[in-house]
Amino acid sequence: MRPLTDNTPKPLLMVGGKPLIVWHLEALARAGIQEVIINHAWLGEQIPHALGDGSRWGLTIRYSAEGNLGLETGGGIFNALPLLGDAPFLLVNGDVFTDINLANLVQRGLAEEMLAHVCLVDNPEHHPQGDFSLSAQGLVSDAPSLTFAGVSLISPDLFAQCHAGTFPLAPLLRKAMQTHQVSGEHHRGFWLDVGTPERLNYLENYVSQTLS
């Protein structure tokens, strides 16, 4: 995303007149969520300054700092577990934009014995190989045919054998898939990984034409 992120963390890049992360906060508030934990890394000190305590959206925001180098998704979540508590939580990556119905996810919760429920989307051009596959029974496996959307319900128990440090989330999900403890759904609406200036520009055009 450079040079746009040389001085601005990706979640604060502007889309439709407001930071990308604010679109997430508004969606979370509409879904009835009240408490939000934000992990931040590169230039992350700008994020609490920009968002404050979340009260303007009817939220309570707390922050988990990872340092400028970051801890990757898995390590970042593990670092934030003391703030997240013992119940399953909704995970939304800060660099995606989607119309996934977060309220439906929250209401469905995790089925008994499940460690995660993940949203999958059709493979975008920049990731044609995909990540996981979805069975007719709603279980997710490691045979790639769909792309992980970066939106999921996660049980803290997924991290039971982890230790503090830098590590990705995907290997933990794959291990849980081996014991049939990851369910999923195929989202066929709008989804975009905002990973390049070109995709950010595409999103700006999309927002201006459909959401303004």
Domains in the chain (CATH in brackets) are 10-210 (3.90.550.10)
Tell me the pLDDT band of 69, cut-offs 50, 70 and 90.
confident
* Summary mean pLDDT of the chain: 94
Residue listed under structure tokens 């069975």: 135
SS3 content of the chain, % helix, strand, coil (to 5): 35, 25, 40
Tell me the pLDDT band of 166, cut-offs 50, 70 and 90.
very high
Question: What one-letter code names the amino acid at 200?
Answer: L
Q: What is the pLDDT of residue 22?
A: 97
Maximum pairwise Cα distance, the chain: 46
φ, ψ at 211 (rounded to 5°)? -115, -5
pTM to 2 decimals?
Answer: 0.94
Please give, one letter per residue, the 3-state secondary structure of 7-48.
Answer: CCCHHHCEECCEEHHHHHHHHHHHCCCCEEEEEECCCCCHHH
Tell me the pLDDT band of 21, cut-offs 50, 70 and 90.
very high
